[in-house]
Amino acid sequence: MSQEMNVGREYGDWLEELDRGSPPDPLTAALDELYADGPNPQETAHAQERLRRAMASAGKERIYYDVLKTSPIGPVYLALSARGLVAIDFSDGEEAFLSRIHKNIGVYPIQSSERMTEAVRQVEEYLAGKRADFDLPIDMRFLTDFQRAVLSAVMRVPRGEVITYGALARAIGRPKAARAVGRALGSNPIPIVIPCHRVLASDGSLGGYSGRGGVRTKAELLRLEGSL
């Protein structure tokens, strides 16, 4: 047997002994375990959904969003275009919020805490009773002319005051449209900042409210502002 073959056999025997006698490297063991288990199905599905949404929104206007995780009315989701706020939601959770924006605007928003810092901060301060007014631009491009008229009028109702649906209808020059005004308020995409909670029924009752908690939340917002 040649000298080269002897050296090769001795080297192979040494590697086998080393493999049997040495504990595995922790990093290698962890990687082996990770690859053996495969990717987390939930994380994979989430990544695939984010990719699908990004592809669906490619080439379109970008909308960003973030969430105020803790507040007196629960989690609050906010979305922002290059022109201003397009949505605030605290009713059905994140997936419903994202789907609603896609339906109304045609794009899926991208989560960005950095871009949403100021909007989230102001809403948080308001709900904590530390802010009376908002200093945030609002983007109403995606609303009908009637919705814009109603929501612009309700923004002129001062904090601490209320108005009825009928009075709001008269304010926009549509005195017989109180019911339509109610529907426009019920679909308000930017509640709290656009204060639809300040509108009451003609008998002074709270009427309806589409946010989480319904009229209970409406009453809480009015109490926060000193209206009740």
Q: Which burial class, exposed, middle or buried, applies to 152 when counting CB atoms under 10 A from its CB (0-12, 13-18, 19+)?
A: middle
Cα distances (Å, whole numbers) of residue 31 to 18, 25, 152, 155: 20, 10, 58, 57
pLDDT digits (tens, 9 = 90+) for 188-215: 999 999 999 999 998 889 988 888 889 9
Among the listed residues 68, 73, 192, 196, the single catalytic one is 196
pLDDT digits (tens, 9 = 90+) for 23-44: 555 556 555 665 666 666 666 6
Do residues 182 and 207 lie in contact, with contact meaning Cβ atoms separated by under 8 Å? yes
Cα distances (Å, whole numbers) of residue 123 to 15, 32, 67, 191: 64, 47, 11, 11
Task: Determine whether 162 is an active site residue.
Answer: no
Q: Among 97, 129, 134, which residue's Cα sits nearest to residue 211?
A: 97
- How many other CB atoms are there within 10 angstroms of residue 141's CB atom? 11
Average pLDDT of the residues of the chain: 84
DSSP letter for 137, please: -
pTM of structure: 0.73
The amino acid sitting at 39 is P
Is the per-residue pLDDT at 14 higher than 50?
A: no
